[in-house]
Chains A and B, each alone.
Chain A
């Protein structure tokens, strides 16, 4: 069983479209995250979600919105996609925020054309 699974693995879409990326963890962790990895490999935190408490990185455009139907899922919805949104998006989870080991999903490569 994959501990943190993301779907889809690849996503190619046109500018202006709306898309979602799904993430599920079966580790029983309390906290989930979304990270964006750009072409220079920089891992930038977008959101963290813990017991219904959402912490947003203030630099993330409000076109991005996380949705968590339950503790095991944290989906990422993106409205009005732009070329600059092209990146690899990683979901991760940890037992708790801060000092726990992060388990990453396999990533979703988003290409906006």
Chain B
């Protein structure tokens, strides 16, 4: 089955800095890579996703890059704000019947 590794487990930045979270996956058949944000005490919510036919995708301050050859993908947050503080999960799945496999999460702390 799929295995997703996520680093770092904790990331502390100052407001306005950029933050990068990296994930690697094991199954070369995987072609869908979403990112979820979970605020304290809340449910995980999708913030951005990328499919294997795209190398990069942006949505305002967040972007995701994908390197299928190396089997890794990354989340980039620019101009971080305190409200970006949360746990971020990467995930991967293929287009068949597999469920999403999540990474272990990164706790992002943005200090004012």
Q: Which residue of A lies closest to B94 (CB)?
A: A98
Pick the interface stretch among A15-23, A65-73, A77-85, A102-110. Answer: A102-110
Is the beta-carbon distance between B104 and A102 smaller than 8 angstroms? no
Residue of A41, A90, A97, A98 touching B104 (CB-CB under 8 A): A41
Is the beta-carbon distance between A55 and B99 smaller than 8 angstroms? yes
Is the beta-carbon distance between A98 and B93 smaller than 8 angstroms? yes
* Residues of A close to B94: CB separation below 8 A: 98-99
B111: interface (CB < 8 Å):
no
With A40-B104, A99-B95 already in contact, the answer to whether A104 and B44 are too (CB < 8 A) is: yes
Is the beta-carbon distance between B31 and A99 smaller than 8 angstroms? yes
User: CA of A98 to CA of B34 in the docked complex: distance in angstroms?
Assistant: 11
* Residues of B close to A42: CB separation below 8 A: 102, 104-105
A43: interface (CB < 8 Å):
yes
Min CB gap B108→A, angstroms = 12
* Residues of B close to A50: CB separation below 8 A: 97
Is the beta-carbon distance between A98 and B89 smaller than 8 angstroms? no
* Residues of B close to A98: CB separation below 8 A: 32, 93-99
B61: interface (CB < 8 Å):
no
- Number of residues from A at the complex interface, CB < 8 A: 20
A101: interface (CB < 8 Å):
yes
Q: Which of B42, B51, B87, B98 has the most CB of A within 10 A?
A: B98
With A98-B94, A98-B96 already in contact, the answer to whether A107 and B104 are too (CB < 8 A) is: no
Q: Which residue of B lies closest to A107 (CB)?
A: B43
- Chain B: residues with CB nearer than 8 A to chain A? 31-32, 34, 36, 38, 42-46, 49, 51, 87, 89, 93-102, 104-105, 107
- Chain A: residues with CB nearer than 8 A to chain B? 33, 40-45, 48, 50, 55, 90, 97-99, 101-102, 104-107
Across chains A and B, which 9 residue pairs bring their CB atoms closest together, nearest first? A99-B32, A104-B43, A43-B102, A41-B105, A48-B99, A98-B93, A97-B97, A45-B99, A104-B44
30 A–B contacts from the bound complex (CB under 8 Å): A33-B99, A40-B104, A41-B38, A41-B87, A41-B104, A41-B105, A41-B107, A42-B105, A43-B89, A45-B100, A55-B99, A90-B43, A90-B44, A97-B96, A97-B99, A98-B32, A98-B96, A98-B99, A99-B32, A99-B94, A99-B95, A101-B34, A101-B46, A102-B34, A102-B36, A102-B46, A102-B100, A104-B45, A105-B43, A106-B42
